[in-house]
Amino acid sequence: MPAEILPTAEGDLGRTPFAHLLVYVLDKQLTGALFLREASGVEHAIRLEAGAPVKVRPGDGHVMLGEMLVEAGAIDEATLQGALSMHGLLGDALLLAGCVERDLLEQTAARQFTLRMTRLFGLGADTTYSYFDGRTDLVDDAAPTSTMHPLAVLWAGVRAHAAASSMMAETIERLRDVTIRIHAAAAIERFAPTPDEREILDRIRTSELSLAQLFAAGFAPEETLCWMVYALVITRSLDLGIGTTPLCAEIPPEPQPATTRPVTLARIRLRAASHRVGAAAPDLAGDGERSRVQPRPRKRGRPSAFTLAARRIGTPPPMEAVAVTEPPPSAVVETDPSPPAVPKPAAAEPPTTEAPSSESDKAPTVPMPPEGQPDAARPAHALYCLATSRIAERDLAGALAACQLAREVDPTQPDYAALAVWIRSLLGGADLRARVAELDALLEAREDHAQALFYRGYLRRRIGDEQGAVQDLRRVLDLDPDHQDAARELHRIAMGKPAKRPSGLFRS
């Protein structure tokens, strides 16, 4: 870990098991770098984005992609050495040479990420950790990030190494006489359980027995029931009667009035993305192990009716600086912050040539779908539009869920990443500086993304960086002279008006 940078939080796995650390960062939607240092001195690094581990860099080169391909019989050792001798990513070299199929490479990289993350759950209690909030640059490489769902990471890790947790035995003992009820909003499918595990979960759901009675029923080995119940407890997926909300809770749809006739816009089939192209740290030599999939160029056309209906989106309120302290050692995290209300969007105003004097906040433009192509043909964009409409309805949890799913379906679209940062800010309890750091990372790859620049400029002013705010806002107007929000904010700065708390909706 970098010696010259002070960590935001630190501790050891004896007091806070690794599974509890991941629950904490997911619950708080933290973005930054987590370092694990074993007693032997070997150090592992994890990059976190919005609470999800997206990159892992083992300190001892555990599970190398090239070796996995050789073991699978996809390539031989001579081919591997030849690819490693080339500059760039190992995956690029193998694909360009026609040595492996892309699907096989993707599957192997996803398995590599899973194996590397799962192994960390088994680290000893004397392993120490250090967390650096907002510092995603500390764990970076040429490979793209993984999109394996964090609940699936947790489930796989507890499955493999539940016994390594210093809190599992105590948790199971406390639950022995407690009725085990799976919470109605628990995101069970996000755990990616095996068919056998899903059957056990279904039996737990329907039986409503105490843990001791489940052991006696004998429909699953006691060891299996222990780790599954433990995983359900720490992710708050059990209804223990204390009013907690499960991690990544699935919000049931609101029932339609009996008089409302449903209208089918389109049928969309979404393929679950188990990983984003690229998953782990690169192999030695050759700079990396993966190939990047370049997004196809998008044509801009007229907005569809779906897009026009979803134009309003929210603006994050300023977040108080959060001092991340050591996560509490309890097995159940009881925090369930409620999002602040979002004012309804102001009525549309005709464009003007001068910077508007109105101080109302308005929502950013939704990207237009390709000409002649309906939103339904682009599920990620449809989800993005759904996120904007949810914000207009003040359903911030639903907006974030839709936006995150859009990112899983199409991780190449920076609009979705920028909007996700924006929505998370509205939920409160986060750090504006951390959100600015996320936009910094996004703009490193897309330096001319006008809306991300506007978001960063707007937030920079709220954290006292007025010079940086002016620079960003002027750059927005260079890229888009008609960006009314940027002109309005620059006008406020020129008039010496104080930075406002972002409490409404923006429209450009």
More confident residue, 98 or 260: 98
pLDDT for res 363: 43
* pLDDT tier, 392 (very low <50, low <70, confident <90, very high otherwise): confident
Residues 165 and 140 in one domain: no
Inside any domain, residue 117: yes
pLDDT single digits (tens) 293-305? 344 444 444 444 3
Inside any domain, residue 315: yes
Q: Distance between CA atoms of 84 and 317, rounded to whole angstroms? A: 48
Q: Distance between CA atoms of 26 and 151, rounded to whole angstroms? A: 9
* pLDDT tier, 312 (very low <50, low <70, confident <90, very high otherwise): very low
Residue 133 has pLDDT above 50, yes or no: yes
pLDDT for res 98: 85
Residues 313 and 400 in one domain: yes
* pLDDT tier, 330 (very low <50, low <70, confident <90, very high otherwise): very low
Residues 63 and 187 in one domain: no
Residue 273 has pLDDT above 60, yes or no: no
CA atoms within 13 A on the CB side of 377: 7
CA-CA-CA-CA dihedral for 66, 71, 77, 80, to nearest 10: -20
Residues 310 and 452 in one domain: yes
Q: Distance between CA atoms of 132 and 138, rounded to whole angstroms? A: 9
Q: Which domain holds residue 206?
A: 153-234
- Please tell me the chain's helix, strand, coil percentages from 3-state DSSP, rounded to the nearest 5: 45, 10, 50
Residues 90 and 125 in one domain: yes
Residues 126 and 180 in one domain: no
Q: What is the mean pLDDT of the chain?
A: 76
Asked whether 127 and 34 are in contact (CB, 8 A), the reply is: no
Q: Distance between CA atoms of 335 and 28, rounded to whole angstroms? A: 9
Inside any domain, residue 262: no
Residues 160 and 60 in one domain: no
Contact residues for 189 (Cβ-Cβ < 8 A; gap 6+): none
Q: Distance between CA atoms of 390 and 387, rounded to whole angstroms? A: 5
Strand partners, 363: 507
Domain boundary among 210, 234, 258: 234
Domain boundary among 110, 145, 180: 145
Query: Which 3 state secondary structure label does DSSP give 277?
Result: coil
Inside any domain, residue 349: no
Percent of the chain at pLDDT exceeding 90: 37
Residues 120 and 168 in one domain: no
pLDDT for res 386: 84
Inside any domain, residue 391: yes
Inside any domain, residue 251: no
Inside any domain, residue 331: no
pLDDT single digits (tens) 396-435? 777 888 888 888 888 888 888 888 888 877 765 557 788 8
Residue 367 has pLDDT above 50, yes or no: no
Residues 169 and 94 in one domain: no
pLDDT single digits (tens) 158-176? 999 999 999 999 999 999 9
Residues 54 and 192 in one domain: no
What predicted TM-score, i.e. pTM, was given to this entire model?
0.54
Query: Which 3 state secondary structure label does DSSP give 232?
Result: helix
Percent of the chain at pLDDT exceeding 70: 70
Number of domain units in the chain: 3
Domain boundary among 203, 234, 265: 234
Cα-Cα-Cα-Cα dihedral sign, residues 50, 396, 308, 506: negative
Residues 129 and 228 in one domain: no
Residues 15 and 123 in one domain: yes
pLDDT for res 194: 95
Q: Which two tokens stand for residue 159?
A: 């499955």
* pLDDT tier, 310 (very low <50, low <70, confident <90, very high otherwise): very low
pLDDT for res 365: 45
Q: Which of 16, 19, 113 is nearest to 62 (CA)?
A: 113
pLDDT for res 360: 41
Instruction: Lowest mean pLDDT of 68-77, 139-148, 200-209, name the range.
Output: 139-148
